[in-house]
Amino acid sequence: MPTPKKESPTVVVVLKGYPRLSETFIAQELLALQRLGLNLSLVSLRHPTDKTIHPVHREITAPVNYLPEYLYQEPIRVLKSWWQVRRYPGYKKARSVWLKDLRRDLTTNRVRRFGQAMVLAAEMPENAVMVYAHFLHTPASVARYASQMKDLNWSCSAHAKDIWTSPEWELREKLDDLSWLVTCTSVNADYLSSLAVEPSKVALMYHGLDLSRFSEFAGRVHVRDGSDAAAPAEILSVGRAVAKKGYDDLLNALAMLPDDLHWTFTHIGGGPLLDNLRAQAETLGVAEKIDWRGALPQEEVLEALKQADIFVLASRIAEDGDRDGLPNVLMEAQSQKTTVVATNVSAIPELVVDGETGLLVPERDPAAMSVALTRLIKEPALRQQFANKGNSRLRDLFDANRWIGNLAEKLGAPSSSRKVRTGS
């Protein structure tokens, strides 16, 4: 892995996968931190699988070290790392912590994380001063073990699945061990604070949106009302086809729309449930009105948002506890004055004010979602009102530049550079 200049302290950032189309909020943060003068070294537990990247990824110049995704694939690298780190003063402590974790979580995943941590510790830049993990589950485990080996402080940014599908014992012990944690919703912050011996370690920090990339769509005028077959209302959703996104509920809602309403639905995103959803659409008789576009880069998503009348997200709490935090796609939709309808799950109400900046419905309630969609399709003036207010609130409260300076300070950015330079 390329090693930055020794005179410039390095923050090692541990990511589950990089780059990822579905994690624009992370790329946005990394670029902002880079512009603020932080020297970053990225470490990814997995190799990229997306066929393309967003423009923001091309601007991030930090080196990336890909750890062995599976230990058997690079046994010599793992063995050499163990031979090196076993001499580190913190190795015995890290091994003890890992063995304690392994007794409670006897899985190959837990073994793999310790192996990855040894490689990370062995290959870490000499001038590393801190390890910062995105996600409190597996990336945080690797960051924790490696930091203990190197006797470094570590910190974390927690989001959604990593919080709500992790056992409490693990969350409590990581919170006790790390230096500080930021999380992107007040729901998350309240829960994690309740588990922490030192609640002050936990801070709310919205990701927000880099509004320099999402300039206001000044020409937005909502006029389509679903009465003209030649100009159907255009409904859009962007998200991975996974259980917590509730796309099966959304398809049921679309099938309930009145027969005299003219509409189309576009889905952007990959995911393991796409084939099931396509089959469901066929069964429901709405397949001919749906355009499944797959995963797309941000510039194409932005163009789709400009074309859409309504952005919809049917998020729900999945059976395993997984759920959305505050989806960036909702902010992206508001930035283009696309009217939003979503479920009142997790932190979505922190962004979307029901009846003021959009409509919210209960999770797992296709009938309520259908009623909301029908109302918005038929009332373009109401859509315009919601869109204008949603855009205004977004720009007042959820500009990423309002928050990134606080994170940069925690990570040790030079005080003279903590005002984000968005144009460079």
Domains detected in the chain:
10-208+400-417 (3.40.50.2000), 233-397 (3.40.50.2000)
pLDDT of residue 2: 52
State both tokens at 297. 């880069």
Give residue-wise pLDDT tens across range 2-33.
Answer: 554 445 799 999 999 999 988 888 999 999 99
Q: Which ranges of the chain have pLDDT less than 50?
A: 4-6, 420-424
| pTM listed for this prediction | 0.80
pLDDT of residue 423: 38
Round to whole Å and give the CA distance between 204 and 403: 10
Give residue-wise pLDDT tens across range 159-210.
Answer: 988 999 999 999 999 999 999 999 988 999 999 999 999 999 999 998 888 8
Which class for 349: exposed (0-12), middle (13-18), buried (19 or more C-beta within 10 A)? middle
pLDDT of residue 179: 97
pLDDT of residue 424: 34
